[in-house]
Amino acid sequence: MRILLTFLTIIMASCHPVNAGEWNEKPVMCGPEEEVFSILEEKEEVLLFTGQEFAKVRDPDEQDGLHQVPAKLPFAFYGNANTGTYSILEYHKAPYSTYCIIAYGTELKPVPETIWMFQQ
């Protein structure tokens, strides 16, 4: 019985699917400060959050094209409470000196149960 149980355990362990994320690419809009912030002004979006993000960036010396160590980039979240639009930006310092809109959308809504965490 013990041998059967051990055998079944080994089979179940080896058949269990392993989930792992993979790096994907999506189009990202980048531009100079004047161009990006004029878009935010048109949409009347204001700065809501800032932080530092970790993001994979291109590296021509790497085999898969991505630097092995994520870059630490300034991050900003802009939104308009009246229209519900939002934009998420990251800033790439010199030599690029460019802002990238990594996501934007609509239907921005506060979550009352968790918003207290940010009211300090």
pLDDT tens figures, 56-105: 777 777 777 777 788 899 999 999 999 999 999 999 887 778 999 999 99
pLDDT tens figures, 18-45: 666 776 777 888 999 999 999 999 999 9
Q: What is the pTM of this model?
A: 0.71
Q: What share of residues in the chain are helix, strand, coil (percent, to 5)?
A: 25, 30, 40
Q: Which amino acid is at 40?
A: L
Q: Is 78 exposed, middle or buried (0-12, 13-18, 19+ CB in 10 A)?
A: buried
Sequence-ordered list of residues with C-beta below 8 angstroms from that of 54, at least 6 positions apart, any chain: 70, 71, 72, 73
